[in-house]
Amino acid sequence: DAGVTQSPTHLIKTRGQQVTLRCSPKSGHDTVSWYQQALGQGPQFIFQYYEEEERQRGNFPDRFSGHQFPNYSSELNVNALLLGDSALYLCASSMIGADTQYFGPGTRLTVL
Amino acid sequence: QQQVKQSPQSLIVQKGGISIINCAYENTAFDYFPWYQQFPGKGPALLIAIRPDVSEKKEGRFTISFNKSAKQFSLHIMDSQPGDSATYFCAASGNSNSGYALNFGKGTSLLVTP
């Protein structure tokens, strides 16, 4: 049974560019959350998707947007990249109504 | 604003010793408190979790102690091993009224020496 998968593993972009990160949830899960983890910090909640709708959003600007597909996979898009967007981006999946979130390995984004 | 405060920032324990990490929260709407373990370059892995209706939960060498009145909870790692060396995060989340997001502490870097 595959766990949460994310792609790509690493990504290097320059300021002003746009990036798309992808996530496939654990089998049987229908809810996907995205987190940003800066170096040496705890993960910070970006948003959560369920039934292809954004269910809750954290304190992140509109440059951060997402999408969930009918097969429950999800994308995180970041526009107009800033140096401060450099971080590990984590996807977590869960079942609706359940508290436990399972994390993927993350995508390391470096903005130069 | 940090909704969950975690201490200490780093911890060094000898093999066989007990590692203790503490967390405190303010939002009384939180009703789920997990602990995650993270190795360098990896995503956080769920270790153990507790709800406020119990004061303690044990799974193997890992125990969560929960004090609802003090709004504090802690992780105890018994018989600590070098393989336990990692960063540990406490977190808290609520429900449909207070939100489903996991609110993480800043993490504790644990080093278990041989």
B106 interfacial to chain A (CB closer than 8 Å): yes
pLDDT of res. A2:
77
Determine the CATH number of domain A5-111. Answer: 2.60.40.10
Length of chain B: 114
Q: Kindly give the pairing relationship between strand A31-37 and strand A87-94.
A: antiparallel
Per-residue model confidence as pLDDT tens digits over A86-100: 999 999 999 988 889
A68 Cβ under 8 Å from any chain B Cβ: no
- Give the number of other CB atoms < 10 A from CB of residue A5: 15
Alpha carbon A100 to chain centroid, angstroms:
17
Q: Which of B32, B100, B106 sits opposite A56 (nearest CB)?
A: B100
Contact A112, A44 (CB under 8 A): no
∠ at Cα A20 (A60, A34), nearest 5°? Answer: 45
Smallest Cβ–Cβ distance between B43 and the set A45, A58, A106 belongs to: A106
How many C-beta neighbours within 10 Å does residue B60 have? 10
Chain A CB within 8 Å of residue B40 CB = no
For residue B52, how many C-alpha atoms fall within 13 Å in the half-sphere facing its CB?
16
Q: List chain A domain ranges.
A: 5-111
B98 pLDDT above the threshold of 90: no
Do B11 and B108 touch, CB atoms closer than 8 A?
A: yes
Q: pLDDT tens for residues B47-81? A: 999 999 999 999 999 999 999 999 999 999 999 99
Q: Spell out the domain ranges in chain B.
A: 4-113
pLDDT tens digits for range A48-94: 999 999 999 999 999 999 999 999 999 999 999 999 999 999 999 99
Average pLDDT, chain A: 95
The verdict on A99 touching B (C-beta cutoff 8 Å) is yes
Cα separation of B113 and B87, whole Å?
15
The answer to whether the CB atoms of A101 and B89 lie below 8 A apart is: no
Burial environment of residue B51 by CB neighbours within 10 A (0 to 12, 13 to 18, 19 or more): exposed
* Residue tagged 């018994």 (tokens): B78
3-class DSSP state of A84: helix
Domain with residues B4-113, CATH architecture: Sandwich (2.60)
A contact test, residue of B57, B100, B103, B104 with most A CBs within 10 A: B100
